[in-house]
Amino acid sequence: MSKNKQLSVSAIQNGTVIDHIPAQNLFKVINILNLDKINNQITFGSNLESHKLGHKAIIKIADKFFRDDEINRIALVAPHAKLNIIKDYEVVEKKTVNVPDDFTGIVKCVNPKCVTNHEKVTQKFYVVDKASVSLKCHYCEKITDEEHMEFL
Amino acid sequence: MKNKSLVSINDLTKDEILKVLDLAEEFAENPNQHILDGKVVATLFYEPSTRTRLSFESAVNRLGGRVIGFSEASSTSVSKGESLKDTILTVANYSDLIVMRHPIEGSARYASEVSGVPIINAGDGANQHPTQTLLDLFSIRKTQGKLDDLNIFLVGDLKYGRTVHSLLMAMSHFNASFTFVAPKELQMPNEYKMFLKEKGLKFTEQTDLNENLDKADIIYMTRVQRERFSDPMEYEKVKNVYVLRNHMLEKTKPSMRVLHPLPRVNEIHTDVDPNPQAYYFTQALNGVYTRMAIMALILGLK
């Protein structure tokens, strides 16, 4: 980023910047990564202009570095997110997110008769289509597609 | 299969399916073998299903085992609000094997994850009913002498019918071709057609039950239920169209057999019953042998 350009969200010394989040999904990302439950300093901006997304959001988390399997959980809501790992105000590493093969939690099964909607069972899905993100429930074997995805 | 639960037909390999059918054949020839002596099988039926429950219980009895259980949830602690997990954990203490029918989809998979003893899924809502599929396969092999290269007609409610979906998946191991006969509202879902295309298996679709029956090796009938139709007019239009009558079978192959998971309402006219091609009641008997085989394999007794 050029030094003349004014930052919409102030810089952090050490930590992780998650960029290119679709603005409407900012709070879903915060939820999925449990950012509302940690004590780190967090700054975020939403409805920032983006050539790619129209309106994007950005989150900067001080002193927090994510494991790949943690960060891949946001692939459902922010498939084009870019991560910058910051050490001493410098970007030391860039990462993208990958849609995982399977995951637990995050999404509600679309099938009202599914056991996960009746008993205290953690949702578990297999990703059957990574491009359009459609999910097959491990329990009732029904497909939840992007259009019907409801986040927990 | 020893000590493994049977939740979905898709969990079984082709070899495992054949192993079940071979053992079922053995039990058909010699049904009274007391290999379950000293074993207790729990049958938990959260919704009524006469045929499935009685055939399981008959199978256990013929093998010399004991049965505990219930045939409806209202007389149990479930009505006091007990969770499925707690019921399963408790009953697993009392039995060597649990057979469960439950209206909630995925309940059998979940039960198999919490239970200390194997679970046999005897139907979880509209999802899976693998022992039905295995007895269908047994009946097909028994009547055709083989499972490979057969032409299977699936008739009736192909959209919601779990038995036809599971049968299709299982027969895909055996180079089957399919003819789907259904009203427009109840046609085979796309995901299954895509699956067949990927596997390179042939299928055709028709709305008229009278066409092409001479090409069938198996006619698998299912019930068209009124409650599946959003428009009652549509139901009235098709309700008598998917009824099999004896005269329709005149040009069929002599080896062709008519199957039905039962209960039948009116979709097979009773004038078909005396026809030697009607196989649905023997099919129900085969359910006992098939379930004997499944339980014997899971308990590691064969």
Whether residues B185 and B262 share a domain: the answer is yes
DSSP-derived secondary structure for B113-177: HH-SS-EEEEEETTS--HHHHHHHHHHHHHHHS-STT-EEEEES-TTT-HHHHHHHHHHGGGT-E
B124 and B109 housed in the same domain? yes
Question: Is this complex's ipTM strictly greater than 0.95?
Answer: no
Query: Residue B156, by phi and psi: left (phi above 0), alpha (psi -120 to 50) or beta?
Result: left
What is the per-residue pLDDT for A4?
A: 52
Question: Domain boundary residue among B77, B99, B128?
Answer: B128
A112 CB within 8 Å of a chain B CB: no
CATH hierarchy code of domain A15-96: 3.30.70.140
Structure token pair of residue B242: 């998917």
Question: Which residue among A118, A120, A141 sits closest to B127, beta carbon to beta carbon?
Answer: A141
**What tens digit of pLDDT does each residue of B252-300 get?**
999 999 999 999 988 999 999 999 999 999 999 999 999 999 999 999 9
Give the ranges where chain B is alpha helix by DSSP (H): 14-29, 50-62, 84-94, 107-114, 130-144, 162-171, 190-199, 232-238, 280-298
Q: Summarize pLDDT for B2-39 with one digit per residue, the tens.
A: 999 999 999 999 999 999 999 999 999 999 899 999 99
Verify whether the Cβ–Cβ distance A113 to B105 is below 8 Å. Answer: yes
Phi, psi of A128 (to 5 degrees): -90, -25
A142 in reach of chain B (CB within 8 A): yes
**Residue B225 structure tokens:** 């239920």
What's the pLDDT score for residue A5? 61
**Residue of chain A with shortest Cα separation from B82:** A119
Q: Apex CA B113: angle with CA B16 and CA A133, to 5°?
A: 85
Contacts of B103 in chain A (CB under 8 A): 113
Does residue B47 lie in a domain region? yes
A134 contacts in B (CB within 8 Å)?
none
Residue in B160, B211, B220, B208 with CA at minimum distance from that of residue B185: B160
CA atoms of A124 and A142, how far apart (whole Å): 12
- Domain extent, residue B37, equals 31-128
Indicate yes or no: CB of B105 within 8 angstroms of CB of A121: no
- Domain assignment present for B112: yes
Q: Spell out the per-residue pLDDT of chain A, length 152, in tens.
A: 444 566 767 789 999 999 999 998 999 999 889 999 999 999 999 998 877 778 899 999 999 999 988 898 898 888 889 999 999 999 999 999 988 899 898 899 999 999 999 999 999 999 988 877 889 999 999 999 888 888 87
- Asked whether residue B18 is assigned to any structural domain, the reply reads no
Residue B233's pLDDT is what? 85
Q: What would the two tokens of residue A3 be?
A: 């030094």
For helices B50-62 and B280-298, the axis angle rounded to 10 degrees is: 50
The answer to whether B176 and B152 are in contact (CB under 8 A) is yes
Any CB–CB contact under 8 A between A139 and chain B?
Answer: yes
Looking only at the bridges linking them, the beta strands covering B97-102 and B40-45 are parallel
Residue with tokens 């200390």: B116
* CATH code at position B110: 3.40.50.1370
Residue holding tokens 């198999």? B112
Cβ-based neighbour number of residue B97 at 10 Å: 24
Q: Three-state DSSP class for B197? A: helix
Q: How far is B108 from chain A (nearest CA, A)?
A: 8
Question: A92 touching B, CB under 8 A?
Answer: no
On whether residue B179 sits in a domain, the answer given is yes
Of 1.10.3260.10, 2.30.30.20, 3.20.20.105, 3.40.980.10, which CATH number belongs to A102-151?
Answer: 2.30.30.20
Task: Tell me what pLDDT residue A55 has.
Answer: 87
Torsional class of A54: left (φ above 0), alpha (ψ -120 to 50), beta (otherwise): left
Residue B109 domain-assigned (yes or no)? yes
pLDDT value of residue A1: 46
Separation between Cα atoms, residue B111 and residue B130, nearest integer Å? 15
Q: Do A119 and B109 touch (CB under 8 A)?
A: no
Q: Which residues of A touch B124 (CB under 8 A)?
A: 115, 140
Question: For a pLDDT cut of 70, what percent of chain A falls above it?
Answer: 95
Comparing CB atoms, the residue among A116, A120, A143 nearest residue B106 is A116
Q: Is B296 a domain residue?
A: no
Do B205 and B103 share a domain, yes or no? no
Cα angle: B59, vertex B64, B67; to 5 degrees = 65
Q: What are the residue boundaries of the structural domains of chain A, listed by start?
A: 15-96, 102-151
> Do the Cβ atoms of B174 and B147 come closer than 8 Å?
yes
- The total number of structural domains in chain B stands at 2
Taking CB atoms and an 8 Å cutoff, what residues of chain A touch B110?
Answer: 115, 119, 121, 139
Same domain? For B176 and B91 the reply is: no
Q: Which residues contact A85 (CB under 8 A, 6 or more apart)?
A: A16, A65, A91, A92, A93, A94, A95
**Domain identity same for B79 and B154:** no
Residue that has been written with the tokens 């053992």 in this structure = B23
Q: Is A138 on the interface with B (CB under 8 A)?
A: yes
The helix/strand count (H/E) of chain A reads as 2, 11
Q: What is the pLDDT of residue A132?
A: 78
Whole-Å CA distances, B55 to A52, B17, B43, B170: 62, 19, 11, 22
Residues of chain B with pLDDT under 70: none
Residue A28 host element (H or E): helix A26-32
For residues A26 and A36, what is the distance between their CA atoms, to the nearest angstrom? 12
Bridge-based pairing state of the strands B151-155 and A15-22: unpaired
Q: At what angle do helices B130-144 and B14-29 cross, to 10 degrees?
A: 70
| Interface contacts A/B by beta carbons within 8 Å | 50
User: Is the bond preceding residue B31 a cis peptide, omega within 30 degrees?
Assistant: no
What is the β-pairing status of strands B151-155 and B177-181?
A: parallel
Say whether residue A55 is in contact with chain B using an 8 A CB cutoff.
no
> Is residue B108 located within the same domain as residue B229?
no
pLDDT of residue A115: 97
B123 with B148, same domain: the answer is no
The beta-strand segments (E) located in A88-138 are: 90-96, 102-104, 107-108, 124-129, 134-137
Q: Number of helices and strands (H, E) in chain B? A: 9, 9
Please check whether residues B207 and B272 belong to one and the same domain.
Answer: yes
B237 shares its domain with B136 = yes
Judged by a CB distance cut-off of 8 A, whether residue A129 touches chain B is no
pLDDT of residue A50: 79
CB contact (8 A) between residue A139 and residue B84: no
Examine the domain organization and report whether B265 and B154 are in the same domain. Answer: yes
A67 in contact with chain B, both atoms CB, cutoff 8 A: no
Same-domain pairing of B119 and B249: no
Contacting residues of B for A137, CB less than 8 Å apart: 106
Distance from CA of B182 to the nearest CA of A (A): 22
Which residue of chain B is at minimal alpha-carbon distance from A139?
A: B106
Report which residue type is found at A99. V
For residues A80 and A31, the answer to whether their CB atoms sit within 8 Å is: no
Question: Is the residue at B3 inside a domain?
Answer: no
Which DSSP helix (H) or strand (E) runs through B82?
A: none
Residues B251, B154, single domain; the answer is yes
